[in-house]
A and B are shown apart, each in its own frame.
Chain A
Amino acid sequence: MSVIKILAIPIQLLLVITLHLALLNYTNDHTAKFYETKMQYIVNNATEASASEMVNNSTHLDQDYEDLSQVSVDPMVGLDVYGEVFAKSMGLPTSNTVKTSMVTKHTPVLVIAATDGYYVSTQQTINNTGSIEHVIMPKIPYTYTHNDGTVYYLNMSGNFGYTIVNGQKRKVYDLPIGKQAQLRIINEQIADMMNNQIHKYASSGITGYVYLPSDLNKLYSTNPINTVTVLAYVDNVEGLYIDNGYTFGIGGTYIKQNEPIVGFMVEGVKYYTFAKSAPTGIRILETFDTAEIAAQNGYYAYYR
Chain B
Amino acid sequence: MTDVIGKIIMLIALIVTMFLAPITYNSVIETAREHDYIQKTAIEFLDKVADTKEIKQIDLDKLALDLNATTLPIEFEVYREKKVINPIPNGNGQTYSSFVRVSDNTKYDVTDYIILDIKQIRPSNMQSIAKAFSRLYIRNFNEQYVKKVR
Q: Chain A residues in contact with chain B, CB under 8 A?
A: 1, 5, 8-9, 12, 15-16, 19-20, 23-24, 26-27, 30-31, 34, 37-38, 41-42, 45, 48-49, 52-53, 56, 81, 85, 88-89, 91, 94, 253, 259, 274, 276-277, 291-292, 294-301, 303-304
Contact = CB atoms under 8 A, between A and B. Distances in A.
Contact of B32 (A16, A27, A253, A295): A27
A297 B94 CA distance: 9
Given A19-B21, A23-B28, A295-B95, 18 more contacts: A1-B6, A12-B17, A20-B134, A23-B24, A30-B35, A45-B147, A45-B148, A52-B110, A52-B148, A88-B146, A89-B146, A259-B110, A291-B83, A296-B87, A296-B95, A300-B86, A301-B85, A304-B103
Interface in B81-96: 82-87, 93-95
A292 B95 contact: yes
Contacts of A16: 16-17, 21
B66 interface: no
Contact of A274 (B32, B93, B109): B109
Interface stretch (B55-63, B67-75, B120-128, B136-144): B136-144
Contacts, number: 116
Contact of B6 (A5, A253, A274): A5
Interface string B91-113: 00111000110111001011101
The 3 closest A-B pairs by CB, nearest first: A301-B84, A12-B13, A295-B95
B43 interface: yes
Contacts of B100: 303
A174 B143 CA distance: 54
Interface residues of B, number: 48
Contacts of A56: 110-111
Given A20-B134, A304-B104, A34 B6 contact: no
Binding site of B, secondary structure by majority: helix, strand, loop or mixed?
mixed
Given A23-B137, A27-B137, A303 B24 contact: no
Given A15-B17, A85-B146, A295 B87 contact: yes
Interface of B: 2-3, 6, 9-10, 13, 16-17, 21, 24-25, 28-29, 32, 35-36, 39, 43, 82-87, 93-95, 99-100, 102-104, 107, 109-111, 113, 134, 136-137, 139, 143-148, 150
A19 B28 CA distance: 11
Given A27-B136, A91-B144, A34 B35 contact: yes
B100 to A, nearest CB: 7
A210 to B, nearest CB: 23
Given A34-B39, A49-B148, A85-B146, A24 B136 contact: yes
A297 B100 CA distance: 21
Contacts of B150: 48-49, 52, 253
Given A26-B32, A30-B32, A41-B43, A19 B24 contact: yes
